[in-house]
Structure 1
Amino acid sequence: MSIRSRLSSNLRLLRLQRRWSQAELANHSGLECKTIRLIESETALPTIEDIDRIASALEVNCSDLLDEFEPE
């Protein structure tokens, strides 16, 4: 699985575990909803700063968004 696919999958999984919409994650992270949608659809690659903001909003480490992730 490519890093882009892992990021997309992990982001979606972690967001849904919190029962957040893309708009709610955007609000918590300070990013635009369109940005979240594009990352989840593997259309855009976020900056390191975007990854950090998303991780902070989800209360996870940046590595949790990029590593192979086994759901609990």
Structure 2
Amino acid sequence: MDVRQRLSANLRRLRLEQGWSQEDYADRAGVHRTYVSDIERGSRNPTITVVEKLAAPFALTASDLLA
């Protein structure tokens, strides 16, 4: 599994565990809902800065989200 696939799977799993819609999560992370959708589908390659923003609502580090 490559890093984009790991990010996609981890992001979706964590978001669903919290019971958040993509829109709820996107608001918490400060990104657009379609961006979250694209990442979860593996069609985006976010920067490390965006990965940090994506990790913050889960109180995780970027490396935790990518593990």
Q: What is the identity, as a one-letter code, of the residue corresponding to 1:65?
A: L
- Supply the distance in 1 between the matched residues of 2:13 and 2:62 (Cα, whole angstroms): 14
User: Which amino acid in 2 is paired with 1:44?
Assistant: R
**TM-score by structure 2 length?**
0.94
TM-score of the aligned structures, taking structure 1 as reference length? 0.88
Conservation of the 8 A alpha-carbon contact between 1:10 and 1:65: yes
Query: In proportion to residue count, which structure has more helix?
Result: 2
Runs of 4+ in 1 over 3 A off after TM superposition: none
Residue pair 2:48, 2:62 contacting (<8 A) in 1 also:
no
Q: Which residue of 2 aligns with 1:19?
A: 19
Runs (5+) with no aligned partner, structure 2: none
Count of aligned positions: 67
Paired-residue identity, %? 39
Equivalent in the alignment of 1:46: 46
Counterparts of residues 1-72 of structure 1 (less than 5 Å): 1-67=1-67
